[in-house]
């Protein structure tokens, strides 16, 4: 994507990958039936914590700083075994990984930093209990969280997603690994762009997800297929570069980010276009 005011040669800006895309793709690749190559993932505290947490669940991830590709060998199912997973400060790890663990067979604990422990996980724990897992939490419905499960049957579930769309995201991504279709009803859906991103990525890895009416989702038990996926540059970070180009009268290009982006934040370029920038 290029933003310009005058017709000048475009400067190229290398923007780090999207954290939201990186961590979702990591989980979907971990659940897939073969190896997936994730190109240009974001390397940050949260994404490396998420990667190490998946390794703690038995997922093989070969990462190289030389070629910027993470190769993930999927389990083809939920994890099997027992252990304690350290989520560090990564909220996505504490919300995405327990549903994934519950689709497997085992006894898994999830712990995190003091900052992460202060954030509630009670709505997620309650949803997993209603799907058949045995879940306990720390005082106040917070970490540490423990999941004991022999897989999840699926079925109908109404979810309170007003606290965080990450609860819904974790359940949606676990849906293809359940024994029968998962029907999720979300009366108050928040952070819609992140849910759209999740569904688009699930489909990229072979999942079948339908939304029959706003907030009513059906996920079929198809499992996931391995897929090679380039991680888009982070659109929120890129918005600063685009804004700088618009106000200074230069042209800037961000390779890997375009109109087909999965990120809602790219709509910032529409605002710039309305103010006179050429996009």
Rounded distance, CA 163 to CA 169, Å? Answer: 12
CB 108 within 8 A of CB 83: yes
Q: What is the pLDDT of residues 96-120, one digit of tens each?
A: 999 999 999 999 999 999 999 999 9
Tokens of 146: 């423990």
Tokens coding 159: 């979810």
Between 188 and 174, the more confident residue is 174
What is the pLDDT confidence band of residue 259, given thresholds at 50, 70 and 90?
A: confident
Contact 269, 3 (CB under 8 A): yes
Q: What is the pLDDT of residue 191?
A: 87
**pLDDT interval class at 165 (50, 70, 90):** confident
- State residue 147's pLDDT score: 98
Q: What pLDDT is recorded for position 203?
A: 98
User: In this model, does residue 65 exceed pLDDT 80?
Assistant: no
| Residue 28 near residue 20 (C-beta atoms within 8 A) | no
Task: For the chain, list the domains and their CATH numbers.
Answer: 2-15+232-274 (no CATH), 19-230 (3.65.10.10)
- The H or E element spanning position 49 is helix 45-56
The model carries a pTM of 0.94
149 three-class SS = strand
Bond preceding residue 60 cis, omega within 30 of 0: no
Instruction: Give the C-alpha separation, 4 to 153, whole Å.
Output: 52
Under 8 Å CB-to-CB from 64, ≥6 apart: which residues? 70
Residue 23 host element (H or E): helix 19-31
pLDDT at res. 7: 56
pLDDT above 60 for 66: yes
Q: What's the average model confidence in pLDDT over 165-181?
A: 96
């Amino acid at each position: 994507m290029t933003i310009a005011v005058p017709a000048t040669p475009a400067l190229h800006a290398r923007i780090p990958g999207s954290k939201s895309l990186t961590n979702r793709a990591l989980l979907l690749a971990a659940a897939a039936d073969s190896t997936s190559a994730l190109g240009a993932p974001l390397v940050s505290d949260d994404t490396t914590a998420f990667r190490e947490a998946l390794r703690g669940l038995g997922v093989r991830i070969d990462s190289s700083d030389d070629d910027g590709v993470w190769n993930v060998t999927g389990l083809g199912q939920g994890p099997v075994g027992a252990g304690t997973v350290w989520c560090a400060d990564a909220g996505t790890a504490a919300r995405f990984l327990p549903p994934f663990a519950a689709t497997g067979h085992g006894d898994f604990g999830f712990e995190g930093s003091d900052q992460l422990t202060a954030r509630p996980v009670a709505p997620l724990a309650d949803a997993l209990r209603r799907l058949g897992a045995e879940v306990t939490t720390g005082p106040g419905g917070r970490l540490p969280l423990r999941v004991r499960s022999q897989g999840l049957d699926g079925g109908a579930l109404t979810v309170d997603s007003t606290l965080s769309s990450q609860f819904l995201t974790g359940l949606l991504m676990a849906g293809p690994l359940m024994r029968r279709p998962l029907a999720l009803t979300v009366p108050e859906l928040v952070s819609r762009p992140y849910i759209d991103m999740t569904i688009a990525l699930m489909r990229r890895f072979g999942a079948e997800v339908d939304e029959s009416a706003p907030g009513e989702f059906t996920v079929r038990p198809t499992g996931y297929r391995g897929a090679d996926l380039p991680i888009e540059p982070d659109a929120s970070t890129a918005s600063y570069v685009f804004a700088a180009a618009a106000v200074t009268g230069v042209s800037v290009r961000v390779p890997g980010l375009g109109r087909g982006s999965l990120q809602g934040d790219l709509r910032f370029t529409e605002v710039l276009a309305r103010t006179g920038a050429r996009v």
